[in-house]
Amino acid sequence: MEHPYGYIKDNKVFLKGFLSQPDRIIGEVKEDEASTLKYFEERFSTIKSKVDNLKKDIEENQNKGSFLMKLIHLKESLLQYDALGDFVPMIEDLNQLESFLEDIIKKNRERNLEIKKGLILEAEAIKDDTDWKKTTEEFKSLKTRWIKTGSVEKEYEEDLETTFNDIIDSFFDNRKQFFEGLALQAEENIKVYESLVAQAQDAFNMADAKRAFEISKKIQKQWKESGKVPADKRQPLWDEFSKINNRIFSRYKRTIQSMPQLSPRDFMRKLETMNEEMKKLSLQEATPSVQAAAKKIQAEWRNLPPSKPKEANLVMRSFIFSTEVVFEKAFLDKLATSKNSDFDKKPIAEQKQIKSTILKDLIHRDQTELETIKGNAENFKSQESDFEIMMKRKLSAYKRKVDVKNFILKELSNK
C-alpha cells in the first residue's frame, strides 16, 4: 500500500528516504494497513508539535541561546523518528534556527568575554586593599557577577577562569595571613597583660605602700598602651588587674592618712624651708654632691601629702623652678664636656663662653617649640576643659624651660 511519504511491503511499514537517507522500516501492520498508516501519521503530528513548541519557546524567551542543545538533539532525533510525514521542512526550519542561535551565542560570548575581562580588571584593582571587610564584600559581589555572566569561547575560558580565581585566591590568602598574624599578636598581647597582672600582684605584696603605688601608676600606663586582644580574654585580666590596683591605692591612701599631720602653718613653713634649700643649691655649680642633695630634697618633697593649700602655689612654682635649674646646669655641664674633651682644662672665661653658646642654641630651640605649641593651641581650640588644662600645662612647662635657661645664661654673664 502506497503513502506520500512511505509504503507497506511484506507487512512492514517503510518511510521513504529523504536528505540522502535510505528507505527504512519504521514498523509493521498490526490490525490493518489503513489504521497502521494513520497511527504513524499521528506520530508525525506529535513530533511536529514538539518542533512548533520549541520554535515558540525560542521566540518568546530572552535567553534564546539556552535552547540550542535541545534544538540539536530534536533535529537529530527527526532522522530516526518512526513516523510518516514530510520531515524535510521541519529539519530545514531547525537548521535555520540553529544558525540563528549560534550567531546569538557567538555575540553573547563575545560580550561575556568583555564583561569577564572587565571583572578581572576590577578584581586586580582591589586585590591589595587591606580594608578587609569592605574588600571581601566587593570580591563576593565580583564572584556573583562572574557566575551570572555566561560562557565565553572555549579557547579563552580556561585562561580567564585561572586568572580570575588566582586574583581572588591571592586576596583571601593575604586576608588569612593577616588575621592569623593578628591572632598570633593577640596571643603575645595576652602575655603582656598577664605579665602586668603579675607585676601588680608583686607590687601589692610589697611592704612599701608608696613604692607599690608608684609601680601601680607605671603599669597602669603600660596597660593602656598595650595591644589589642579579644574582649572575652581581656576582660577577666582587666578585672583582676583593676582589683589589685584598687587595693594598692586604698592601702596607699590609708598610709598617707595615718601619717602625722602638720598644721597648715607648720606645713607652709616646711615647704618654704625646702624651697630655700633648693634655691641655694640652684645658685651653686651642679657638682655631684649638689645634685645628690637636690635629689634628696626632691624625694622628700614628693613624699609630702599630695593635697597642698592654695597659698603654697607660689612656693611650689619657685621650688620646681629651682629644681629644674639644678638639673639643667648638670645637663649643660654634660653637653659642654661631651662637645669639648678638654673642657675642664680651659680657662673659666672660655668655659662660660662655651656654656653660653650652648644655652643660646637650646633657648632658640625651646622658644621655637614654644611658638609652635602656641600656634597649635590657637588652631585647635576645643570646648573640652581637659584639653584646655592640658594645653595650659604644656605651655607653662615650655615657658619655664626657656626661663630656666635664660636664668642660667644671665647668671653666667654676671659672673
CA atoms within 13 A on the CB side of 42: 6
- Among 137-141, 251-255, 376-380, whose mean pLDDT is lowest? 376-380
Task: Kindly report, residue by residue over 292-312, the tens digit of the pLDDT.
Answer: 999 999 888 877 766 677 788
Q: Residue 154's pLDDT is what?
A: 86
Spatial distance between the Cα atoms of 57 and 46, rounded to a whole number of angstroms: 17
Q: Residue 256's pLDDT is what?
A: 67
Q: What residue type is 331 in one-letter code?
A: F
Spatial distance between the Cα atoms of 96 and 201, rounded to a whole number of angstroms: 90
Residue 288 pLDDT more than 70? yes
Q: In a 10 Å sphere around its CB, with 0-12 CB exposed, 13-18 middle and 19+ buried, how is residue 308 labelled?
A: middle
Spatial distance between the Cα atoms of 248 and 210, rounded to a whole number of angstroms: 9
Residue 385 pLDDT more than 60? no
Cell of 285: 655649680
Q: Residue 130's pLDDT is what?
A: 86
Q: What backbone torsions phi and psi does residue 28 show, to the nearest 5 degrees?
A: -145, 160
Cell of 196: 602586668
Q: Tell which residue, 281, 298, 409, has the closest CA to residue 357.
A: 409
Please state, in angstroms and as integers, the Cα–Cα distance from residue 72 to each residue in 77, 78, 85, 408, following that order. Answer: 9, 10, 20, 103
190 or 1, which is more confident: 190
How large a percentage of the chain has pLDDT more than 90?
Answer: 42
Residues 6+ apart with CB under 8 A from 311: 268
- Among 9-13, 80-84, 120-124, 224-228, whose mean pLDDT is lowest? 224-228
For the chain, the average pLDDT equals 87
Residue 90 pLDDT more than 80? yes
Cell of 414: 654676671
Please state, in angstroms and as integers, the Cα–Cα distance from residue 332 to each residue in 224, 279, 351, 358, 406, following that order. Answer: 35, 18, 11, 8, 13
pTM above 0.85, yes or no: no
What are all long-range contacts of 192-195, with beta carbons under 8 Å and residues at least 24 apart?
192/226, 192/227, 193/223, 193/226, 193/229, 193/234, 193/237, 193/238, 193/241, 194/237
Mean pLDDT of 76-84: 93
- Among 127-141, 188-202, 369-383, whose mean pLDDT is lowest? 369-383
- Among 5-9, 25-29, 366-370, 401-405, whose mean pLDDT is lowest? 366-370
